Amino acid sequence: MTSAGFASLENEVMCVESNQAILADVSSGKVPIFEPELENLVNKCIKNQKLQFTDQIKDVLEFAEVIFICVGTPQAEDGKADLRQIESVAIDIAENLHGYKLLVEKSTVPIGTHIRLKNTMSRHLKGKIGFDIACVPEFLREGNALKDFFNPDRVILGIESENSKKLLQDIYKDFECPKIWTNPATAELIKYASNGFLAMKISYSNMLADICEATGADVDSLIEGIGQDSRIGKEFINPGVGYGGSCLPKDVSAFIDIFDQNNVNNGLLKEVDSINRLRPHRIITKLKSSIKNLENKRIAVWGLAFKPNTDDVRNAPSLEVVNKLIEEKVTVNCHDPQAINQFKKALNKNTNLTFFDDMYESARDCDALIILTEWPDYMATNLDELKAKMSNPLIVDGRGIFKPSEIQKSGFEYKAFGLKENNN
């Protein structure tokens, strides 16, 4: 997205990609992920000769003065951010560097990574060659990437030299949003602080849903009631099966580690994480409150992507829920408008699982339907058609997409986060 975005703003962009399959795809204008409008943009930029691809860092170093590092920083087994891809890029750049470059961290990296990068570079440079490191973290949301790239709420620019500032001012000249100039350490921290806060809002809302379930308070009014407060806002406060995806879970985990490394209390973040981890299990508990023994039951799961408008299933609640169902010897019928292929790769199991292109067919003869992603198609469900297909009209809705009163009128047993069990 970053390369196509900058290329479409009349910059000359060369992208280096080490994965040959991905490189072959993107070079021919095929985007290997589902992201609305991105493929059109990439093709337009390739056609206008503003965007090109290579697998050689040397090509990029000859071509550009500013290099954005956008490689993955996944969660390591111990919960920290795994910086091996960043390290490897730094070594590659240093070994091939012949003149000044500005290296910009776009990947989400723990505070202090710019120093680590500098040290790695210095160890591998072949001679006394100048370079700067800056940090401009990425805030775009998958499924909304184009809009977020071109209309960010703000751009954070962590720099250490006048030259870095000059180069970045030019690159970001078309962005009219607030620009916050700071140092690289603070820029690195801002990204985690933002994602930690968003995760906290979600877990807080999930905690509120639990108290509604226990007391019978109306969760929808409660969310509306707090969301109308402009200090709180309406976004990221819908209760449900929790956050997933390639960013929030790993970033909260890495943020917890950053506090640990600095001996600063991180109890709040740990609780945010632990509330979230329990959400997929709660789906199974809700299911079992209606179907005590799940063995040999047939259950449909709608929504494998971690959120709508993406095919990304990294850390998606669907992985945990489907795995649990398989453990319980359930026959699982899966549907998702975009994410079936990614899900098959991520789950790496095929027993007791069938995948459907048609959402209604996936519910045929099912004892229950579980909804895990709020895709627009699901929100527009024809409830009569759905009910006619199912052998038992039970919906466990992990995203609260239906109004309880309306769905119960249609004859469904309906379970969702925040609804008191004996009201269901």
Ligand X SMILES: NC(=O)c1ccc[n+]([C@@H]2O[C@H](COP(=O)([O-])OP(=O)(O)OC[C@H]3O[C@@H](n4cnc5c(N)ncnc54)[C@H](O)[C@@H]3O)[C@@H](O)[C@H]2O)c1
Structure tokens at 297: 């039951």
Residue 90 or 332: the one with the smaller Cβ distance to ligand X is 90
- Footprint (CB under 6 A) of ligand X, residues 200-219: none
User: If DSSP codes are grouped into helix, strand and coil, which group holds residue 352?
Assistant: coil
The yes or no reply on residue 13 touching ligand X (CB under 6 A) is no
The yes or no reply on residue 246 touching ligand X (CB under 6 A) is yes
Starting at the edge strand found earlier in the chain, the sheet holding 331-335 runs: 353-356, 331-335, 298-302, 368-371, 394-397, 413-416
The yes or no reply on residue 18 touching ligand X (CB under 6 A) is yes
Residue 89 or 372: the one with the smaller Cβ distance to ligand X is 89
Question: How distant, in Å, are the alpha carbons of 313, 322, 364, 366 from that of 377?
Answer: 18, 21, 17, 19
CB of 300 within 8 A of CB of 376? no
What are the E-state strand segments in 115-272?
Answer: 131-135, 155-158, 179-182
The yes or no reply on residue 257 touching ligand X (CB under 6 A) is no
- Cα gap 193→255, rounded to integer Å: 8
> How big is the chain by its Cα radius of gyration, in Å?
24
Residue 18 or 96: the one with the smaller Cβ distance to ligand X is 18
Please report how close the Cβ of residue 249 comes to ligand X at its closest, in angstroms: 11
Region at 216 (left for phi over 0; alpha for psi -120 to 50; beta for the rest)? left
CB of 408 within 8 A of CB of 340? no
Please report how close the Cβ of residue 56 comes to ligand X at its closest, in angstroms: 10
Structure tokens at 53: 């691809």
The yes or no reply on residue 19 touching ligand X (CB under 6 A) is yes
CB of 201 within 8 A of CB of 231? no
Mask of contacts with ligand X, 138-167, x by CB under 6 A?
A: x-x-x-------------------------
Residue 138 or 311: the one with the smaller Cβ distance to ligand X is 138
Identify the residue among 117, 189, 247, 371 touching ligand X (CB under 6 A).
247
Structure tokens at 97: 């560097």
**Known catalytic residue: 247?**
yes
Please report how close the Cβ of residue 403 comes to ligand X at its closest, in angstroms: 31
User: If DSSP codes are grouped into helix, strand and coil, which group holds residue 347?
Assistant: helix
- Cα gap 310→308, rounded to integer Å: 6
- Cα gap 325→346, rounded to integer Å: 16
Exactly one of 135, 247, 334, 366 is catalytic; which is it? 247
Identify the residue among 4, 13, 14, 16 touching ligand X (CB under 6 A).
16
Residue nearest to ligand X (CB): 72
Mask of contacts with ligand X, 70-99, x by CB under 6 A?
A: xxxx-----------x--xx--x-------
Residue 84 or 288: the one with the smaller Cβ distance to ligand X is 84
- Footprint (CB under 6 A) of ligand X, residues 97-116: 107-108
Residue 35 or 132: the one with the smaller Cβ distance to ligand X is 35
Mask of contacts with ligand X, 38-77, x by CB under 6 A?
A: --------------------------------xxxx----
User: If DSSP codes are grouped into helix, strand and coil, which group holds residue 46?
Assistant: helix
Of 154, 107, 96, residue with least CA distance to 133: 107
The yes or no reply on residue 374 touching ligand X (CB under 6 A) is no
Sites of contact with ligand X (CB under 6 A): 16-19, 22, 70-73, 85, 88-89, 92, 107-108, 138, 140, 142, 246-247
Q: Which residues are catalytic?
A: 247
